[in-house]
Amino acid sequence: MEAVKLACATCGQMNRVPRDRLSAAPKCGSCGEPLDDGRVHELDRLSHDKAVRGDDLPLLVDYWAPWCGPCRAMAPEFAKAAKALAPEVRLAKLNTEDHPDIAGRARIQGIPALVLYHRGREVARLAGARPAAQISDFVRQNLRP
């Protein structure tokens, strides 16, 4: 049975989850929080770096800030895309105001910025607020074998 590694967005702990159990809303073995439940999780420095570098599933990160109107307007659409893409892809957010060092390392020049990562590498990026369908299409188009 194939297992995938997933970083917990809450505590940063790496977890191994059988691929066939991803749709059963697996929980972190350390803190008990959901790992892949179709919700958008807020990342901090530790969870961002662990998820980007260590997750076996694709991860789409929305780099945003609370003062950004387009970022706030896109939030419900990003949440819809998270539900549509789960459990094959995880979606998360990183507040660039709270973590400017991470935004700098990720070369974020404008927000909202969506960056798709897979197995430790950046796969693609998309700038600007988008509806859920465009977000889902962007992910699917960039993950084709």
Q: How far apart are CA 28 and CA 77, in angstroms?
A: 26
The Cα–Cα gap between 87 and 104 comes to 29
Catalytic residue among 11, 28, 31, 71: 71
Distance CA 98, CA 108 (A): 14
Based on the residue annotation, tell me whether 28 is a catalytic residue of this protein.
no
**CA separation for the pair 75, 108 (Å, rounded):** 18
Q: Do 87 and 39 form a contact (C-beta atoms < 8 A)?
A: no
Active site residue 68: yes
Distance, in Å, from the CA atom of 10 to the CA atom of 79, rounded to the nearest integer, reads 18
**Catalytic residue numbers?**
68, 71
